[in-house]
Amino acid sequence: MNKSWKNYRADAFYDELIAASGAPRVAARRVVKLLQSLPEEEMASRRAAAELAIREMGVSFTIYSEGKNIDRAWPFDIIPRVISARDWAKVSLGLAQRSRALNCFIDDIYNQQKILADGIVPAETVLDSSNYKPQCAGVSPLHGAWAHICGTDLVRDQRGKFFVLEDNLRVPSGISYMLENREITKRVLPELLENYSIQPVDDYPSRLHATLSSLSPREQRRPCIVVLTPGIYNSAYFEHAFLAQRMGAELVEGNDLFVDDDDCVYMRTVDGPIRVDVVYRRIDDDFLDPECFRSDSTLGVPGIMRAWKAGNVAIANAPGAGVADDKVVYAYVPAMIRYYLNEKPLLASVKTYLCMNPKDRAYVLANLDKLVVKPANESGGYGLLIGSASSAAERAKFASLIEENPRNYIAQPILSLSTAPTYIDELVEPRHLDLRPFILQGKDTWVTPGGLTRVAMRKGSLVVNSSQGGGSKDTWIVEDNR
Amino acid sequence: MNMLSRVAERLFWMARYLERTEDTARLIHSYAHLVMDIPRGSEPGWDILVHILNTEPSYNEHYRAYNELNVMKFLIAQPDNVSGILSSVRAARENVRTTRDVLPSEVWEHVNELYLYAQEYSEKSVGRRYRYQFLETIIARCQMINGILVSTLPRGHAYRFIKLGRLLERADMTSRVVDVGAAALLGEERLHSSVDPLIWASLLNSLSAMGAYQREIGPQVEAGAMVDFVLREGTLPRSIKFCLNGIRQELSPLNNNKEAIRLVLKARRKLSAFDPQTCSREELHIFLDQFQVLLTKLYSAIDQTWFMTAERRATATLS
């Protein structure tokens, strides 16, 4: 065994690759064996090769810092995360179930509102939320699908059980990194993939294309699909371009599109205007249509909401889908699954205290040091309080924030996130991670095999977001042929 | 296949900047090579390169004297010199970065590598020790990218606008090389005319036309014949005639191409009517000057017809 692995200990956490006994888990056995047998220089040189590949492939994300946009190379850890196909099959069913229920919920909220009338979900939590867009009421998108692309964050507790942390239904990103991670592993550790049967990930773009095609308002053999990006300075621009290219769709910016008097969307081309059927938009609702939402938006397309309501164009994800992407609504998802599907939830949710309920609020305020407090509708890991790592002053600040606006905060117990061996400097050390699979919902439902594993590169850190120093790993779903 | 106006414009400029990178590298390469052959005191000066690229104002902001080191620094490594290698490479990369979805993925990888290479080595390659290798590498990488485009890109709009950008830039560069070369060499004040053939040969080299010239015309490089060759030899890929023919060919399948085609045909007629073998240096200069104006008009016609969106036209008239 090479020295980098010598003192590897996962301590009290569930480790994805190494069991408590210190032996590799069955599905990961060959990966671990091979990596442990590599000489130390070889580990370092593979990492260097990965970094070079990332630079050459131009895999980057942009962060906004000190008034400047900086293009950073994508941080990648060469040791893959391995999950057995058997474990994954159950998770996958749970994700599909969840996505179906969430879409039923959104469709219900903008139409009959049965779930509110039946008192399953309190009406004010939904209708007073800034994620509820009254402009969308009365619209019935094809197949009842609103959240066509959902990125659900999963974590595992100390026993290895999967929990849903949140559902990202607005404009979830990360899929291109999942695909590029596999590409990098193939380039720099090809021998690792030998004799393994790993579920392939690279058909995602064609699955996405099929999902988007199924939304087209016109019966056409090849509907016109575009990816709408806010532009080069968006942190996920790389991904927008990547997906457009892989799908053979046009990558457009707001001013490439316009809505004509016939309420149809057109794109400006060198051959003149061409009608657009499906817009895979990667800009937020608020910026989508200055006629309907923020009037100062220069990123959007004036009139696109008109065209959408008239049924002349599909928008994915549908405007207003974010109503179910709210940490308060999250607490009601198990109830939704029972209500709409009459099924038992297959995936666990994290116990959630809603600060708007007086009883929960009292508990949260008394136990701030043991909880994670999150704003109800922020993403990217911003504005949260991790109780165990906070100062008294920070806790006091959050206490008053909660008192001021209880609807806007929820709290959850601090989970002991699972770890996986991660190559840091010269040593392999455990680091915490999560997993973001993607669920597609159009005419059919489809779940990615695995997803994007994000890893907190700082020792002990639980924050995995790339904007805050997180990295990523290739994620393998393998058949466990013992 | 559809082509967004905005994307067409960026592809066009990507190609222009790549061509500019390669042409500038060629020009410096062959000129620096030539200078080593010329006895001290007779060399025509480094300012000629700055004149060819028409960037005197920007040069004068940064440097005073036109010596080798300053000029090389300015043309190779100056980040804000729009005709310099470093900034052309960066501009090409920015344009690919925003159009990579319509290009073969290797194009982005190679343009990105070109950029990383220029970024890392331009500063170190100003001096004679590493300059040669640097320029050779830049030229080779540009050629590789063009090779990928030629051998993998379907002959649709993307290819069409790339080719238009490349040929327009190339025609522009060739006419400038001839104009300034003639101005410097045919001026009365210089005495050492014995080295002139060497300089003409160097300019031919910078247009990679030396071999072709020798085969077609002969080993002795003469001013009139050389100018005629690089302006009007239709088989020579860097001749102006070749560029105009290519532009004409790419324009014909496009919608609304009337104005642009009219201008290309006009340029072609002017070129055939002009006789470089008998003209004076003054006449040559006037001809090239008018020709450059035509190229600028041609660019505006392309810009107005296929690039300028309604919004931009509206804001342009407002401001």
Selected for mutation to probe chain B from A183, A269, A298 (highest B CB count within 10 Å) is A269
Name the domain count of chain B.
1
Give SS3 for A320: coil
Contacts of A58 in chain B (CB under 8 A): 97, 100, 108-109, 112
Q: Do B2 and A252 touch (CB under 8 A)?
A: no
A363 and A331 belong to one structural domain = no
Is the CB of B98 inside 8 Å of chain A's CB atoms? Answer: yes
Asked if B12 has any chain A CB less than 8 Å from its own CB, the reply is no
Q: Is B206 part of a structural domain of the chain?
A: yes
Does some domain include residue B189? yes
Rounded to an integer, the average pLDDT of A373-382 is 71
- Judge residue B269's burial from the number of C-beta atoms within 10 Å of its C-beta, 0-12 exposed, 13-18 middle, 19 or more buried: exposed
Judge if A133 and A218 occupy the same domain.
yes
- Which of A229, A237, A270 should we substitute to test contact with B (largest number of B Cβ atoms within 10 Å)? A270
Q: What is the pLDDT of residue B318?
A: 43
In the structure encoding, which two tokens stand for residue A414, read together? 């601090």
Question: How confident is the model at residue A371, as a pLDDT?
Answer: 93
CATH number, domain with residue A140: 3.40.50.11290
Q: Amino acid identity, residue B227?
A: V
- Residue A435 resides in a domain: no
Task: Say if B314 falls within a structural domain.
Answer: no
Contact with chain B for residue A232, Cβ under 8 A = yes
Are A253 and B109 in contact (CB < 8 Å)? Answer: no
Whether residue A296 sits in one domain with residue A239 = yes
Residue-wise DSSP of chain B? ---BHHHHHHHHHHHHHHHHHHHHHHHHHHHHHHHTTSPTTTS--THHHHHHTT-HHHHHHH-SS--HHHHHIIIII-TT-TTSHHHHHHHHHHHHHTTGGGS-HHHHHHHHHHHHHHHHHTGGGSSHHHHHHHHHHHHHHHHHHHHHHHHHS-TTHHHHHHHHHHHHHHHHHHHHHHHHHHHHHH-SS---GGGHHHHHHHHHHHTT-HHHHHHHT-SS--HHHHHHHHHH-TTSTTSHHHHHHHHHHHHTTSTT-HHHHHHHHHHHHHHHH--TTT--HHHHHHHHHHHHHHHHHHHHHHIIIII--HHHHHHHHH-
- Give how far B156 is from chain A: nearest CA, Å: 12
User: Looking at A59-73, A340-354, A385-399, A455-469, which range is the least confident one?
Assistant: A59-73
A256 closest CB neighbour out of B4, B100, B112 = B4
Residue of A nearest to B102 (CA): A245
Compute the distance between CA of residue B197 and CA of residue B221 in angstroms, rounded to an integer: 6
Amino acid at site A97: Q
B254 shares contact with chain A (CB less than 8 Å): yes
How far is it, in rounded angstroms, from Cα A113 to Cα A116? Answer: 5
Interface A-B: count of C-beta contacts within 8 A: 65
- A255 touches B at CB < 8 Å: yes
- Segment A70-93 mean pLDDT: 89
- If you search the block for the tokens 């906070």, which residue do you land on? A390
In a domain, A473, yes or no: no
How is residue A448 annotated by DSSP? Answer: -
Residues of A in contact with B102 (CB under 8 A): 245
Q: What is the DSSP letter of A397?
A: H
Q: Do B5 and A270 touch (CB under 8 A)?
A: yes
Chain B residues inside the 8 Å CB shell of A230: none
What are the strands of the beta sheet with A314-316, ordered from one edge?
A250-252, A225-228, A278-281, A314-316
Q: What is the ipTM of this complex?
A: 0.76
Residue B99 in any domain: the answer is yes
Boundaries of domain holding A366: 351-413
What's the pLDDT score for residue B187? 54
**Mean pLDDT (chain A, rounded):** 90
Report pLDDT for A66.
47
Residues of A in contact with B310 (CB under 8 A): 258, 268
Helices (H), A367-440: 392-404
A170: Cα within 13 Å, side-chain hemisphere: 18
Chain B hits for A232, CB-CB cut-off 8 Å, are 97-98
Contact criterion met (CB < 8 Å) for A256 and B102: no
Contacts of A252 in chain B (CB under 8 A): 4
For the residues A315-331, what does the mean pLDDT come to?
93
- Is residue A355 one of the residues assigned to a domain? yes
- pLDDT digits 0-9 by tens, A456-471: 988 888 777 766 678 8
Residues with Cβ within 8 Å of residue A385, at least 6 apart in sequence: A368, A372, A373, A394, A395, A398
User: pLDDT tens per residue, chain B (319 residues)?
Assistant: 789 999 999 999 999 999 999 999 988 888 887 777 777 766 677 888 888 888 889 999 999 888 889 999 999 999 888 889 999 999 999 999 888 878 988 898 899 999 999 999 999 999 888 999 999 999 999 999 999 999 999 999 999 999 999 999 999 999 888 887 776 665 544 444 666 777 778 888 888 888 899 998 888 888 888 889 999 999 999 999 999 999 999 999 999 999 999 999 999 999 999 998 888 878 888 899 899 999 999 999 999 999 966 555 555 444 3
Based on the fold, state whether residues A337 and A385 are members of the same structural domain. no
Q: Residue A388: count other Cβ atoms within 10 Å of its Cβ.
A: 11
Residues of A in contact with B3 (CB under 8 A): 269-271
Which DSSP state fits A18?
A: B
| pLDDT for the residue B309 | 62
Establish if B178 belongs to a structural domain.
yes
pLDDT, tens only, A207-216: 999 999 999 9
Which of residues A391, A413, A435 is at a domain's end? A413
Q: Residue B251's closest chain A neighbor by CA?
A: A270
Q: Distance from A265 to chain B by nearest Cα, in Å?
A: 14
Nearest by CB to A253, from B6, B102, B310: name it. Answer: B6
Asked whether residue A51 carries a pLDDT value surpassing 80, the answer given is: yes
pLDDT band at A61 (very low <50, low <70, confident <90, very high): low
Q: Can you list the positions of beta strands (E) in A323-426? A: 348-349, 353-354, 371-375, 385-386, 409-413, 419-424
Reading the block at residue A418, the tokens are: 């699972």
Q: Which residues are within 8 A (CB) of A88 and not within 5 positions of it... i.e. 6 or more apart?
A: A449, A450, A477
Chain A closest-CA separation from residue B199 CA (Å): 40
Contact B2 A253 (CB under 8 A): no
Residue from B258, B246, B266, B237 nearest B306 by CA: B258
Is residue A168's pLDDT more than 70? Answer: yes
> What residue has token string 């999967």?
A162
User: Given an 8 Å threshold on Cβ–Cβ distance, is B2 in contact with A250?
Assistant: yes
User: A468: which DSSP letter?
Assistant: G
Q: For residue A317, say if its preceding peptide bond is cis, omega within 30 degrees of 0.
A: yes
Interface touch A56/B109, C-beta < 8 Å: yes
Kindly determine whether residue A58 and residue B255, on different chains, have CB atoms separated by under 8 Å.
no
The full 3-state SS of B186-251, as one line of letters, equals: HCCCCCCHHHHHHHHHHHHHHCCCHHHHHHHCCCCCCHHHHHHHHHHCCCCCCCHHHHHHHHHHHH
- B209 φ, ψ (degrees, to nearest 5): -120, 5
The total number of structural domains that make up chain A = 2
Of A78-82, A234-238, B86-90, B92-96, the one with minimum mean pLDDT is: A234-238
Containing H/E element for A244?
A: helix A237-247
How far does the CA of residue B104 sit from the closest CA of chain A (Å)?
Answer: 9
Hunting for tokens 């700055």 — which residue is that?
B50
Distance CA B75, CA B123 (A): 11
Q: What is the mean pLDDT of residues A234-244?
A: 87
Residue B1 maps to a domain: no
| Domain C-terminal end among A341, A359, A384 | A341
Min distance A307 CA to chain B CA atoms (Å): 20
Q: Give pLDDT, residue A352.
A: 94
User: B2 and A267: CB-CB below 8 Å?
Assistant: yes
CATH of the domain at A378: 3.30.1490.270
Do A288 and A357 have their domain in common? no
Give me the half-sphere count of Cα atoms (radius 13 Å) on the Cβ side of residue A166: 20
Residue A237's pLDDT is 87
Same domain, A249 and A376: no
Measuring CA to CA, which residue among A414, A416, A405 is closest to residue A375? Answer: A405
Task: Evaluate whether residue B73 is within a structural domain.
Answer: yes
Residue of A58, A267, A271 lying closest to B255 (CB–CB): A271
Six token digits for residue A308? 């959408």
For B120, the token pair is 């890392």
Dihedral angle of Cα A38, A39, A45, A46, to the nearest 10 degrees: 10
Are residues A281 and A318 located together in one domain of the fold? yes
Among A314, A341, A368, identify where a domain stops. A341
Its domain, for residue B128, covers 8-308
> Across residues A423-450, what is the average pLDDT?
94
Q: Where are the alpha helices (DSSP H) in A73-192?
A: 85-109, 114-117, 123-127, 175-188
pLDDT top residue among A16 and A193: A16
The answer to whether the beta carbons of residues A475 and A181 sit under 8 Å apart is yes
Integer Cα distance of B287 and B175 in angstroms: 10
> A420 pairs with which residues across the strands?
A431
Distance CA A379, CA A384 (A): 10
Nearest to A270 among B3, B108, B109 (CB): B3
Q: Are strands A278-281 and A225-228 parallel, antiparallel or unpaired?
A: parallel
Q: Residue B174: is it exposed, middle or buried by C-beta count within 10 angstroms (0-12/13-18/19+)?
A: buried
